[in-house]
């Protein structure tokens, strides 16, 4: 344990970095001093680090680690005890999410109003995080069943987009897949009420029209007056990054994953 006396308003992590820099300089200075001094014995090479040097170094470290300022207090320098707000410490994990276009026999797909999570209040597709060692197909089937109670089949990759600067500074890569119902007459059920308010069937033309209205409201700064569906950000990014995207058309033209 290292005990440091310091002002309570000084960020301890910043102080540690300063100490590390100071110690590096002192160590190199002491090494150079002993390299330049004549060796006490021919048996000790000029580049060695004799015990006297070690003593000097320890004293130097002690002086450096004992930092005093106007208000004195002792703290245990355990970095996990401190909350550091510097942007370099932000979570830089890039997550992978799978969003699913579930098509019924009319070519409609499901949208749900999100609740209690990222994008709460917006409308998005069934889906979720890709788990370790899980395929896109398995993730899509699992998430749709967990969220809607629907069994799906013939799952096909449609496209992928990059979603940086999401809510809370999160960064996602979103995989979009399409699939069809095992039972063509089945209806979605809210299986996770803490995550979703309701499910509705919509066409892609409906969604494109909604996207255009939402973009216009955002451009004019009138989102507070906007009364239509507010779509989840990855859906907006999808049309921005894949301008000609049409999920049903792509689904019908590609082979199964």
What CA–CA distance (Å, rounded) separates 72 from 88?
29
> 101 lies in which domain range?
91-253
What CA–CA distance (Å, rounded) separates 22 from 18?
6
Judge if 151 and 42 occupy the same domain.
no
Q: What is the pLDDT of residue 22?
A: 60
Q: What is the pLDDT of residue 23?
A: 57
What CA–CA distance (Å, rounded) separates 231 from 236?
7
SS3 at position 4: strand
- The torsion angles phi and psi of 243, rounded to 5 degrees, stand at -60, -40
Judge if 233 and 109 occupy the same domain.
yes
Could you say which of 88, 104, 124 is where a domain stops? 88
Q: What is the pLDDT of residue 4?
A: 42
H helix count then E strand count, the chain:
6, 9
Burial 212-233 (b: 16+ CB within 10 A, else e): ebbeebeeeeeeeeeeebbbbb
Could you say which of 40, 65, 88 is where a domain stops? 88
Mean pLDDT of 44-64: 48
Judge if 249 and 174 occupy the same domain.
yes
CB contact at 8 A, 196 and 147: yes
Could you say which of 69, 88, 107 is where a domain stops? 88
Judge if 172 and 63 occupy the same domain.
no
Q: What residue spans of the chain are helical by DSSP H?
A: 12-36, 51-65, 136-148, 204-220, 233-241, 247-253
Q: What is the pLDDT of residue 111?
A: 97
Mean pLDDT of 189-195: 96
Domain count, the chain: 2
Mean pLDDT of 160-169: 88
Judge if 99 and 145 occupy the same domain.
yes
Cα 110 to Cα 107, 115, 207, 239, distances in angstroms: 10, 16, 11, 17
Give me the sheet containing 196-202, strands edge to edge.
123-124, 109-114, 196-202
Of the candidates 193, 181, 21, which has an alpha carbon nearest to the alpha carbon of residue 105?
Answer: 181
Asked whether residue 62 carries a pLDDT value surpassing 60, the answer given is no
Residue 8's pLDDT band (cuts 50, 70, 90): very low
Judge if 130 and 245 occupy the same domain.
yes
CB contact at 8 A, 231 and 138: no
Q: What is the dihedral of CA 196, 198, 201, 205, to 10 degrees?
A: -70
Q: What is the dihedral of CA 238, 240, 243, 248, to 10 degrees?
A: 20
Mean pLDDT of 175-188: 97
The structure's pTM equals 0.64
pLDDT digits (tens, 9 = 90+) for 81-121: 333 334 445 678 999 999 999 999 999 999 999 998 788 99
Angle at 94 between CA 89 and CA 97, to 5 degrees: 140
Judge if 95 and 82 occupy the same domain.
no
Judge if 158 and 127 occupy the same domain.
yes
Q: What is the pLDDT of residue 169?
A: 85
Judge if 7 and 59 occupy the same domain.
yes
CATH number of the domain enclosing 241: 3.90.79.10
Judge if 34 and 76 occupy the same domain.
yes
Judge if 163 and 95 occupy the same domain.
yes
Judge if 118 and 67 occupy the same domain.
no
What CA–CA distance (Å, rounded) separates 165 from 234?
11
Pairing of strands 3-5, 74-76: antiparallel
């Amino acid at each position: 344990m290292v005990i440091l006396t310091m002002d309570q308003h000084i960020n301890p992590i910043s102080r540690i970095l300063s100490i590390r820099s100071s110690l590096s300089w002192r160590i190199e200075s002491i090494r150079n001093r002993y390299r330049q001094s004549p060796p006490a014995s021919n048996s000790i090479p000029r580049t060695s680090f004799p015990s006297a040097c070690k003593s000097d170094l320890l004293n130097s470290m002690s002086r450096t680690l004992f930092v005093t300022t106007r208000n004195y207090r002792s703290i245990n320098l355990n970095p996990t005890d401190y909350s550091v707000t510097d942007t370099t410490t932000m979570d830089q994990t890039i997550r992978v999410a799978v969003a699913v276009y579930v098509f019924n026999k009319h070519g409609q797909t499901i949208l749900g109003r999100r609740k209690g999570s990222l994008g709460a209040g917006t409308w998005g597709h069934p889906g979720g995080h890709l788990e370790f060692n899980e395929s896109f197909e398995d993730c899509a089937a699992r998430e749709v069943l967990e969220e809607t109670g629907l069994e799906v089949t013939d799952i096909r990759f449609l496209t992928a987009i990059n979603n940086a600067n999401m809510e809370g500074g999160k960064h996602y890569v979103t995989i979009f897949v399409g699939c069809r119902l095992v039972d063509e007459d089945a209806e979605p059920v809210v299986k996770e009420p803490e995550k979703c308010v309701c499910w509705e069937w919509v066409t892609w033309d409906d969604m494109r029209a909604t996207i255009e209205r939402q973009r216009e409201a955002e451009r004019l700064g009138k989102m507070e007056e906007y009364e239509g569906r507010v779509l989840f950000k990855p859906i907006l990014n999808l049309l921005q990054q894949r301008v000609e995207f049409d999920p049903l058309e792509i689904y019908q033209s590609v082979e199964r994953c």
